[in-house]
Amino acid sequence: MQLQRFIDALRADLNAVAELGDEATAEAAGRLTLTLQASVGLRLLDALSEAALELNEKLPSGHVEVRLTGQDPQLIFVSDEPEAPAAGGDEAFTARITLRLPEALKTSVEEAAAREGVSVNTWIVRALSRSGSAAPVTQSRNRLTGYAQS
């Protein structure tokens, strides 16, 4: 979804209204619309994220994600994955490790696990199980691709 066309339409609407005033008003409106461009883009992303959250509450399974490609968001439906098996298939948890994380990362992991309604251990096992098959985030020149989930 290209947000720029909505931003451009809003700018044109504001400029049309400003032209009803004098030249100073039109110039001020032109400067204002240029500075509002980034803010309007962020507010539109916020609205899409809120819409995705509301849809997620009503879906019986799966969820909607807002993914960014460059500066263009996409609403993507993701079906629920089957329960991720432990690394060795059906083998029980037999290995233990100690993991030291920065406090901010630990908090993020705990919050993500709480959002999914699972323990931190289960969340980490699932994340590690998925990591081998997930598409990597790549960066080229000035463009970053990947996904964000709300």
Q: Is residue 142 part of a domain?
A: no
Identify whether 68 is part of a domain.
no
Q: Is the pLDDT of residue 85 over 60?
A: no
Contacts of 28 (CB under 8 A, 6+ apart): 18
Residue 102 domain-assigned (yes or no) = yes
Rounded to 10 degrees, the C-alpha dihedral 33/35/41/43 comes to -90
* pLDDT number for residue 92: 66
Give residue 89's pLDDT: 54
Last residue of a domain, one of 56, 73, 102: 56
Residues 117, 50, 70, 103: is their CA dihedral positive or negative? Answer: negative
C-alpha span between 42 and 34 (Å, rounded) = 14
Total tally of structural domains belonging to the chain: 2
Structural domain includes residue 31: yes
Residue 36's pLDDT band, with cuts at 50, 70 and 90, is confident
For 51, the domain range is 1-56
Residue 69, pLDDT score: 80
Say whether pLDDT at 135 is over 80. Answer: no
Q: Are 18 and 29 in contact (CB under 8 A)?
A: yes
**Do 93 and 44 reside in the same domain of the chain?**
no
What is the pTM (predicted TM-score) of this model? 0.46
Instruction: List, for residues 54-72, the tens digit of each pLDDT value.
Output: 888 888 888 888 888 877 8
Residue 140 has pLDDT above 50, yes or no: no
In 3D, which of 75, 1, 5 has the Cα closest to residue 40?
Answer: 5
